[in-house]
Amino acid sequence: MHKLAVVLVLLLTGCPAPAKVETLPLVSAREAEPLALPAADPARWLGPPMSPASARGKVVLLEVWTFACEHCRASHPWVAAMAARKDLVVISVHSPQTSRERDPARVAEVMKQRHISWPVYIDADGRYFEQVRAEGWPTFLLIDRAGRLRARTLGRAEAASPHARGIEAALRALLSEP
């Protein structure tokens, strides 16, 4: 009965079950679509300054999350480890699921509590969530040096989990490309 309740809560809150991805296939560079990073509007960013121009020519891991999502919370230590890497740009997009999550001050408070020190874009109206065709929280997008979306995956990513290992392998492949 308890497991059924947990599954129902996850379904109702938009948080998927933990992903079990060992490999994450990349769309070929030729077939990949360009993906516009969030706008450079400083009023919509929290954390260190960020603009699409500063990510040009770099591999980007873009995380779409919301602070009430348990899978997002569980993924943040792994995302922090990715953000500490010098060969990668990490950007988070906070796309609220409820009206309570729309307040940037609350997002800033959660960032402080979770030690989120990388740039976070506030997607209060959910337009960027729709633009990138996110299907839930957390969604991870892998963007190559040319700004093309090469992979999209949904679900919890914790250190050494199959999902995180799959994302890391795909990132290694992107980083090895010219």
pLDDT tens-digit map of 125-147: 999 999 999 999 999 999 999 99
The amino acid at residue 123 is: D
Q: Has residue 10 been placed in a domain?
A: no
Global pTM? 0.89
Q: Has residue 168 been placed in a domain?
A: yes
Domain CATH number, residue 143: 3.40.30.10
Euclidean distance between the first and final Cα of the chain, in Å? 52
Q: Has residue 96 been placed in a domain?
A: yes
Q: Please tell me whether residue 64 adopts helix, strand or coil conformation.
A: strand
Q: Has residue 1 been placed in a domain?
A: no
Range of the domain at 116: 32-176
Instruction: Give how many domains the chain has, as a whole number.
Output: 1
| Beta-sheet strand order (sheet of 33-34) | 33-34, 148-154, 139-143, 60-65, 89-94, 120-122, 45-46
What mean pLDDT do residues 110-117 have?
96
DSSP letters spanning 65-107: E-TT-HHHHHHHHHHHHHHT-SS-EEEEEE--SSGGGG-HHHH
Q: Has residue 147 been placed in a domain?
A: yes
